[in-house]
Structure 1
Amino acid sequence: MFLLDKMLRKIVRSGDLTVITADGRERRYGSPDPAREPVTIRFLDARAPDFIARHPRLGMGEAFMDGRVVVDRGDVVALLDLIRSNVPWERGGGIDGKRKIGKRLLGTVGRFNSLRASRRNVAHHYDLSDRLYDLFLDADRQYSCAYFTDPAVSLERAQADKKAHIAAKLALAPGQRVLDIGCGWGGMALYLNRVADVDVLGVTLSEEQLGVARRRAADAGVADRVKFELIDYRELDGRFDRIVSVGMFEHVGAPHYRRFFTKCRSLLADDGMMLLHTIGRVGGPGATDAFTAKYIFPGGYNPALSEILGASEAAGMVTTDVETLRLHYALTLEHWYERTVAAKAEIEAIYDVRFYRLWTFYLAGAISAFRHGGLVNYQLAYAKSRDVPAIARTEIVQAERHLRDA
Structure 2
Amino acid sequence: MLMKRNKALKEVKGSPSQALITGTLAFFIGFAAVALFGTTAHKISSILHLSIVEIGWLVAIPLVTGSLLRIPFSALVEKYGGKRIILIQLIIALIGMIGIVITLTLIHKILYIGYFMLILFGALAGTGISAFSSGITYVSYWFSLRKQGLALGLFAGIGNTAPGIFTAILPIALICLGLIGAYVIWSLILVVGLTIFAIFGIDAYYFQLRKIYKEKTLEEAKKLGEEIIPTDSALTSLSNALRIWKVWLLVIMYLTSFGGFEALTEWLPTYWQEFLHVNIVEAGLLVGVLFSLIAALIRVLGGWLSDIFGGENVSLVAYIILLLGSLITLDSFKFTQSIIGEIIMALGMGIANGAVFKLVPKYAYRSVGGASGLVGGLGSFGGLLLPPIMAYIVNVIGISGFAYGFIVFTSLSLVSIIFTLILKRRSDDMNIIQ
Does TM, normalized by the shorter one, top 0.5? no
Higher relative contact order (CA 8 A, sep 6+): 2
TM-score range, shorter chain: under 0.3
- Bigger helix share: 2
TM-score (norm 1): 0.26
